[in-house]
A and B are shown apart, each in its own frame.
Chain A
Amino acid sequence: MVSLSSAALSARLGRRGGRVPAGRRVGRHPGAAFTLLSPWLIGIVGLTLGPMIASLVLSFTDYDLLSAPTFVGGANYARMLDDPRLAQSLGVTSTYVAIAVPLKTTCALLIAVVLARGVRLIGVYRAAFYLPSLLGASVAIAILWRLVFGSDGIFNAFLGMFGVEGQSWVSTPDTALFTLIALSVWQFGGPMVIFLAALLQVPAELQEAAAIDGAGPVRRFARITVPLITPVIFFNLVLEMINSFQTFTPSYIISGGTGGPADSTLLYSLYLYLEAFTKFRMGYASAMAWVLLLIIGLVTALLFWTSRRWVFYADSGER
C-alpha cells in the first residue's frame, strides 16, 4: 500500500498550492475515471453489494423461487440450530479446514525451503510440484480420485506392496473425508510458489552470518528463515482457509452429489447447494451463506489477532 499513500500525500501537497514535480502527480479526472470504472461499478452494485443485501433479506424469508418470498423472521436461523445435517456438515467442514490447511501449508513450506537452497533444474521441479494445483479443482481429477482411493485403486495397490490390506477409502464413512483432505494437500504447489518467491528474497548474508556463528541448518531455518517469511505464511494460511471453506467440486463428484457415505463428505458448500438447488429452500440457503460469511470472517479475525504475536513485518517502521 506504500505507493497508494504516497499518491494520497502528493495529492494533498498539490491542494496546498505547492507545485508537485511532474511525474509524481496523480491526474484528477473524475469523468474519465468513472467512465473506465463503470463496468466494475455496475458489477459491484448489481452483482456483489446488491445481491449481498438481497441474500441477507432473503435469509429472513421462505422462498422457493415459484412464489414470492414470505417473511418468516429468524425462523431460518432457528432451524439451523436444530438441523442435524447442518451440524454434520459444519463438523465435516471444520475437520477438513483444520487438517487440510495446516498440512498443505506445511508441505508447501518444506518443499519450498528445499528448492530455495539452490537446486539444479529448479524450474522443472517447481513445475512438477505446481501442476497439481492447476488441475486439482477439475471434475477430471475428482473422478481420478474416486478411482485412486476405490477398493481396486492404486492407493490399495501401493499399500499391497507393504502387505497392507486396503479397503474402499471413498465409500467408508470414517475415511472418505481424508481422501478429500489428501486431494487438497496434493495441490500444495500454489502456496509453495508463493513461499519460494519469498524465500529467494531472504538475504543470503543473514544465513551465512548465522552459519559462521555456528547455527546448524535447523536452527537457521527456525530462527532466521521462518521469522522473515511469517507475513507470507500468514497470507497463505488466510487464503487457503478462505478457499477451503468454499470447496465444492471434489465433495460433489467423489460422493456422486450426495455428500455420502453417511454424510461424511458433506462439505458446507455442497449442503448449501443441495438445499438451494435440489430442495429450493432459497431462504434457508441464504441464511447458510451468511453464516458461512460470518464464520470465515471470525476465523480471519482470529488469525489476524494471533498474527500480532507471531507475524514479523520487517518494513513496519516505514509505514
Chain B
Amino acid sequence: MTDASPLYRPTAWRWMRYVVLTAAALLLLYPVLWMVMASLKPEDEIFSQPAALPGSLDWANYVEGWTGTGRSFGVYLLNSALVSTLSVVGNVLACSMAAYVFARLDFPFRRTLFAVMLVTIMLPFQVTLIPQYTLFRELGWLDTYLPLVVPKFLAVDAFFIFLMVQFIRGIPRELDEAARIDGCGPIRTFRRVIFPLLTPALVTTAIFTFIWTFDDFFGQLVYISSPSLFTVPLGLRVFIDTTGQSAYGPMLAMAVLALIPVVVFFLFFQKRLVSGLATSGLKG
C-alpha cells in the first residue's frame, strides 16, 4: 500500500495492527517458550514460578532425561532419523515418478487413475489400517520399520504426487520435446530433464515428509513394540507411563529435544514450506 492509496490509514491504526499481531504471536508461542525455560529449571521451580526466567542454566534435566527411560535418548533420536530419512527417500522417488506420468504421459485409464489418486488424498487412514496390519503381520514385518517405510516407496502419500503434478505442469513442455528430439525416451526425459527441474517440489516433499514422519505417533505405536526400536514419540510416551509428578523436568527436557529437529528444519526451509503449502491449496 502506498501512501497515496485510499486504503492508507493513519499511523495510530498501523501501530495497533503491530501490537495485536505481536501480542497474538507471543501468546501462541509462549507455551513453547515456557517449556524451554522449564526444562532448564530445577524441578521445584517449574510450577512454583511458572513465568520466571531460569536463574541459571541448569542442564540437570537433560542429563537425567537422556537416560531416564533406562535407554539412551540418543537411540530414539537415531531410530527416528533412520525412519524419517528412509521415508523421505521413498516419497521423493516414488511420488515424483508417479507425478511425471500423470502430468506428462498418456496411457490407458489415465483419467480414471488420476481421479483415484486424488480421492485417496482424502481417504481416512483407518479404512485401510486393519487389513494393512494383518498383511504386514503375514509378511513377518511387525516390530520392524518396514510397515512405516515401504508404503512410502509405493507412493501411498498421494498428497505429494498432487503437489508435484502441479509443479510439473508449470515446466515448459518444450523441454520434453527437445529431449525427445535428442533421442530421449520418456524415462530418460524424466531422469535427465524433469527430475532435476523438480528440485523445489522435491525439497518441499522431503521436508514435509521428514517432519510428519518424525512427529508421527500412530503408525509407530501400532507397529513397533521392542524398546530398542523405539522412536522419539514412543520414547516420550515411556516418560508419561513411568514417571510421576516428580520427574516433569527430564520429560520436558526430552520433549524440547524432540522439537529441535523440526524447528531447525522449519527455520532453514520455512519459505519453501509455506510456498509449497500455498500452491497445493490454490491450484485445485
Contact = CB atoms under 8 A, between A and B. Distances in A.
Interface of A: 1, 3-4, 7-8, 11, 22-24, 26-30, 32-37, 39-40, 42-44, 46-52, 54-55, 58, 65, 111, 114-115, 117-119, 123, 125-132, 134-135, 137-141, 143-148, 152-154, 157, 186, 190, 193-194, 196-198, 201, 204, 207-208, 211-212, 231-232, 235-236, 242, 245-246, 248-249, 252-253, 256, 269, 272-273, 276-277, 282, 285-286, 288-290, 292-293, 296, 300
B31 A144 contact: yes
B217 interface: yes
Nearest to A120: B18
B230 to A, nearest CB: 12
B145 interface: no
Given A36-B98, A54-B131, A134 B266 contact: yes
Contacts of B56: none
Contacts of A33: 101, 105-107, 110, 186
Most buried by A among B108, B124, B153, B259: B124
Contacts of A141: 32, 255, 259
Given A33-B106, A55-B128, A249-B218, 11 more contacts: A46-B154, A51-B127, A129-B25, A135-B263, A148-B31, A186-B28, A198-B281, A236-B281, A269-B218, A277-B222, A292-B124
Contact of B237 (A36, A139, A211, A285): A139
Contacts of B153: 39
B127 A293 contact: yes
Interface string B172-214: 1110110010000111001000000000000000000001101
A196 B274 CA distance: 10
Contacts of A134: 211, 262, 266, 273
A292 B124 CA distance: 8
A235 B1 contact: no
7 contacts: A26-B106, A51-B129, A111-B24, A125-B25, A139-B233, A198-B282, A293-B123
Contacts of A130: 270, 273-274
A195 to B, nearest CB: 9
B236 interface: yes
A34 B101 CA distance: 8
A3 B172 CA distance: 12
Contacts of B40: none
Contacts of A235: 281, 284
B148 interface: no
Nearest to A282: B130
Contacts of A252: 217, 221
A50 B131 contact: yes
B105 A27 contact: yes
B63 interface: no
Contacts of B17: 114, 117, 119
A270 B222 CA distance: 12
Contacts of A272: 126
A228 B133 CA distance: 45
Contacts of A269: 126, 218
A197 B240 contact: no
B218 A289 contact: no
